[in-house]
Amino acid sequence: MFRKMIPLAVALVIVVGCKKKDTGGGSDPDAAPSGPPITIKLRDEKVGDKVQIVVTKTSTVAQNASGPKGKFSKSQKTVEKAEYMESVLEMVGSDRATKATRAYKVAEKSEDDKAAKSMSYANKTVMIQKKGAGFTYTVNGVALRPDEAQPFREAYEKTDKLKNEDMLPKKAVQVNEKWSLDQVILKKIGTAFDTPISAEKSSGSGRLLKTYTKDGAQWGVIEIKFDVVLDGTQGGIALSGTISMTMTLDTAIDGSTLDGVMKMKGSGKIIGKQAAAGVEVENQIDIDGEETRTTVK
């Protein structure tokens, strides 16, 4: 579940009207660990899964640049919305779908508060299938445009994506007990952002905020925080800065269902310098995302 959400920081919301019982915990960062230790297990996808997914993502990028021709500034706000049913058809030699469909009701994007524009696959079904070393993304046999296919590639083709167990504690934990994310995981997070990072300077942690029962299953709220420090060169440009994310995941922690709601908030400053050309670009990025998953029976 996490591995598809890292690009959007996410948190899970309890479905309205479902009966639940709190058993402790909260959002107080100073609260002491309490209650019995719990081994957290998140359910991975499997063949036959059908999940209704609703996604919203808002991002704002404020850019300031300077160079031989002077200074330049601009800002852009983008809002993306999608609603679709994802069906896992095959998982051949992989821990993720090698063949799946997404039947879209909504797929749209708006920029700077202008009217939203629908993607070409809105109200259509996208077939996702592994072919050789890569994947194809088609609607009625016709490939999606490269720009529309890119988000699918991010979700399906990266072999070093984060897995559920990467973000979870290696032992049972109490409510409000924290655990650290090691450097190997921080490097994977850097890969998710497709930027060079310093794992040594970066940091991350997780915490079980609360637990409760719902429909006879053990649910809980997990918080993941990380600060990724950029440090390196990409395409001849020296990059620096920090990306900070807070994700909360409210879902079954006994591995019984994919249901849940994820929310994420993130911000960061990325500075790129090309010394030879005398150019410096600073991007201030803010992201707010939410994804709800409901199993279709």
pLDDT of the residue at 14: 21
Q: What is the pLDDT of residues 235-246, one digit of tens each?
A: 889 999 998 999
pLDDT of the residue at 103: 98
Phi-psi group of 235: left, alpha or beta (phi > 0 → left; psi -120 to 50 → alpha; rest → beta):
left
Residues 6+ apart with CB under 8 A from 182: none
Quick one: tokens of 35?
């209650």
Q: What is the pLDDT of residues 92-118, one digit of tens each?
A: 988 889 999 999 999 999 999 899 999
Q: What is the pLDDT of residues 205-256, one digit of tens each?
A: 999 999 999 999 999 999 999 998 999 998 889 999 998 999 999 999 999 9
C-alpha dist (Å) from residue 2 to 5, 42, 130, 163, 192: 5, 9, 21, 7, 11
Residues 6+ apart with CB under 8 A from 230: 195, 196, 197, 198, 239, 240, 241, 242, 243, 270
Better pLDDT: 6 or 42: 42
Question: For residue 17, what pLDDT band results from cuts at 50, 70 and 90?
Answer: very low
- In this prediction the pTM is 0.85
**In whole angstroms, what is the distance from residue 212 CA to residue 219 CA?**
5
For residue 182, which of 161, 196, 165 has the smallest C-alpha distance? 165
pLDDT of the residue at 186: 83
**Res 10 pLDDT > 70:** no
Q: Strand 173-175 relative to strand 142-143: parallel, antiparallel, unpaired? A: unpaired
Which regions of the chain does DSSP assign to beta strands (E)? Answer: 20-25, 34-38, 50-67, 70-90, 99-111, 117-118, 125-131, 134-139, 142-143, 173-175, 178-180, 203-214, 217-234, 237-252, 260-274, 279-295
pLDDT of the residue at 155: 84
Adjacent-strand bridge partners of 21: 213
pLDDT of the residue at 297: 87
Quick one: tokens of 102?
């997404």
pLDDT of the residue at 15: 24
> Which backbone phi and psi does 245 adopt, to 5 degrees?
-135, 145
Q: What is the pLDDT of residues 127-137, one digit of tens each?
A: 999 998 899 99
Beta carbons of 249 and 264 less than 8 angstroms apart: no
> Which backbone phi and psi does 286 adopt, to 5 degrees?
-130, 130
Per domain, the residue ranges of the chain are 2-295
- 35 three-class SS: strand
pLDDT of the residue at 280: 94
The enclosing H or E element of 151 equals helix 146-156
**In whole angstroms, what is the distance from residue 238 CA to residue 261 CA?**
37
Adjacent-strand bridge partners of 81: 56, 108
First to last CA, the chain: 18
C-alpha dist (Å) from residue 270 to 157, 232, 250: 25, 12, 30
